[in-house]
Structure 1
Amino acid sequence: MEKVEKKPADKLFVVSGGRGVAGHTMVQSLLIQYPDNKIPVVIIPNVQSNEKIKEVVLRAKKANALITHTMVNSDLRHELLKACREEGVEEIDFMGPLANYLENKIGLISVNVPGLYRRINAQYYDRIEAIEYALNQDDGLNPRRLKDAEIILTGVSRSGKTPLSVYISMFGWKVANVPLVKGIEPPEELFNIDPRRVFGLSINISYLIAQRHKRLSQLGYGDNPSYTDKRIVSDELQYARMIFERGGFTVINVTNKPIETSANEIIGHIYDRFGEQERKHQKPPDS
């Protein structure tokens, strides 16, 4: 009987007993070498039962997907291989050959715990995740994700929101910042979260105007009266104070302060308010 050649996969599934980060990184590291590649990559994490394996394999069969996997649990890995054979689903095993060598040739015994590498290196991964969050939430971006923030900074332009949020995020905290512009209503999400996590940045008007002049000069612009006029800036600061009071936010004066000092003041408030549950992250060194 003539063998029928199987149609190339329409999708690529990354199946994992953990979060699927390792498998996804391996796949993307290879796919980036093929710039014309347009195959969709789908991560399927937390596959930790025979029932889930069967569900995933049938889903792959229906979608004509190739399964790549990083199953460290040997029993589940064998079950996945078996299910793929039975359903005619192609698979690529990233972990099996090396695991078999370690166990059968060297005689090592696996603890079979998915996500163990990430768990051991949790502090590093939390820090990377927090920095990415801060960058994605900079300057009021993605207000729907404010609910995920552990710390929210708000204030007028050039009050130091971005550098302070990025600095704090380097110690594992998810920080968002929301700009306040007179005449533009802040996102309603700002008032729907725990106000104890929101910090309004207060700044001296003369210092603020100096910072704005400096910024304009760095950008190669001339003077902008609507941005540096003392009366207009005073109105902005008054508007910001009104928002701080309306939301019941904690006000932090950042005038001429080192960024480390402001960061420690903010995190000190979080520790005092939420106790040990917030001590999972590092605290910046004292200035």
Structure 2
Amino acid sequence: MYNVIVISDSLGETAEQTAKAALSQFENLDYKIQRFSHILTLDQLENIISSVEDFNNSIFFYSLVDEFLLTSIKKILDLKKANYIDVMTPSIIAIERMCGISPSIKPGALRKLDENYFKRVEAIEFAVRFDDGKDSRGILRSDLVIVGVSRTSKTPLSMYLANKNYRVCNIPLVPETTPPKELFEIPNSKIIGLTNTPENLNKIRVERLKSLGIPQGSSYSDLNRILEEIDFAMDIMQKIGCPIIDVSNRAIEETADIIINYLKKQQKKFI
């Protein structure tokens, strides 16, 4: 039985996965992995190493960024004539040489990056699942709810904000459909209304119908119908008491910046 000891100043998942990837190249190898996370002091390091009985049949995979700990573990393991792999340092040095920028040397920095990545993926999946009023239950779980008439950029805006780690659902406001009751059960500070000029909506919808191969004359692009929808939506948004943004002549990024700044201000009120 071979012992694989993983030591990290964070969770140690990266070092352990590296070890497993290497070990998988050897068939029928009998081994066990011990992982030690959040190792930040020399005492912790020495206690782990002193607990190892057989250094000949052991290998250390360590992911540490503190210079003192890196120097210490190398000296100790060299004295023990132990087998070891520094998982992180060669990669950091190679990148430093390439870009000429000194690393920040922050324990757990990769873990924080991973958490940010998975949070963004979860937000994107959320936006897709609760797009265009597919499931009103998403309203209660959202960081933000976007409401408005059709073709006010609700979906692209939701996806853009999801890439900024916000869980967003969007709800179309249509005269024939009663707005979900959940809209009135959450703070209006978590809701943003979108509107546009009737002329812009008319042009956008006419082009939309053309792209779908639908002949002109549909009520969808009719100006009177658009005015009716806008009036209905404005009435609902005013009842909710949420901010309303006119997206006419605004890029998605510009509208998103307005929303993000608004959300940050709301968060500060409760800090």
Amino acid aligned to 2:241? G
Alignment counterpart, residue 223 of structure 2, candidates 223, 226, 230? 230
Q: Is 1:177 paired with 2:170?
A: yes
Alignment of 1:154-169 (within 5 A): 154-169=147-162
Alignment of 1:235-274 (within 5 A): 235-274=228-267
Q: Is 1:102 paired with 2:60?
A: yes
Q: Is 1:129 paired with 2:122?
A: yes
CA shift digits 1:212-263 (9 cap, x unpaired): 0011111111114311111111011000001101111110110121111100
Q: CA deviation at 1:208?
A: 0.5
Structure 2 match to 1:275: 268
Amino acid aligned to 2:141? D
Unaligned runs of 5+ in 1: 1-16, 24-70, 76-99, 279-287
Question: How far apart in 1 are the matches of 2:130 and 2:232?
Answer: 22
Q: CA deviation at 1:277?
A: 8.0
Structure 1 match to 2:41: none
Q: Is 1:218 paired with 2:218?
A: no
Structure 2 match to 1:141: 134
Q: CA deviation at 1:119?
A: 4.0
Question: How far apart in 2 are the matches of 1:101 and 1:107?
Answer: 5
Question: How far apart in 2 are the matches of 1:276 and 1:246?
Answer: 23
Question: How far apart in 1 are the matches of 2:155 and 2:34?
Answer: 40
Q: Say if 1:153 and 1:176, in contact at 8 Å, map to a contact too.
A: yes
Q: Say if 1:118 and 1:125, in contact at 8 Å, map to a contact too.
A: no
Q: CA deviation at 1:107?
A: 4.1
Structure 1 match to 2:192: 199
CA shift digits 1:72-125 (9 cap, x unpaired): 7479xxxxxxxxxxxxxxxxxxxxxxxx74359634699xxxx99654422211
TM-score (norm 2): 0.60
Q: CA deviation at 1:163?
A: 0.7
Alpha-carbon distance change, 120 to 154 in structure 1, aligned in 2, over 3 angstroms: same
SS at match of 1:154: strand
Aligned length in residues: 186
Q: CA deviation at 1:264?
A: 0.5
Question: How far apart in 2 are the matches of 1:189 and 1:143?
Answer: 7
Question: How far apart in 2 are the matches of 1:139 and 1:233?
Answer: 18
Amino acid aligned to 1:172? N
Unaligned runs of 5+ in 2: 1-10, 18-32, 38-57, 62-76, 88-107
Alpha-carbon distance change, 72 to 169 in structure 1, aligned in 2, over 3 angstroms: farther
Q: CA deviation at 1:145?
A: 2.1
Question: How far apart in 1 are the matches of 2:36 and 2:263?
Answer: 43
Q: If you compute each CA radius of gyration, which structure gives the higher value, 1 or 2?
A: 2
Amino acid aligned to 1:247? I
Amino acid aligned to 2:216? D
Alpha-carbon distance change, 106 to 194 in structure 1, aligned in 2, over 3 angstroms: farther
**Aligned-CA RMSD value:** 3.2
Alpha-carbon distance change, 72 to 216 in structure 1, aligned in 2, over 3 angstroms: farther
TM-score (norm 1): 0.57
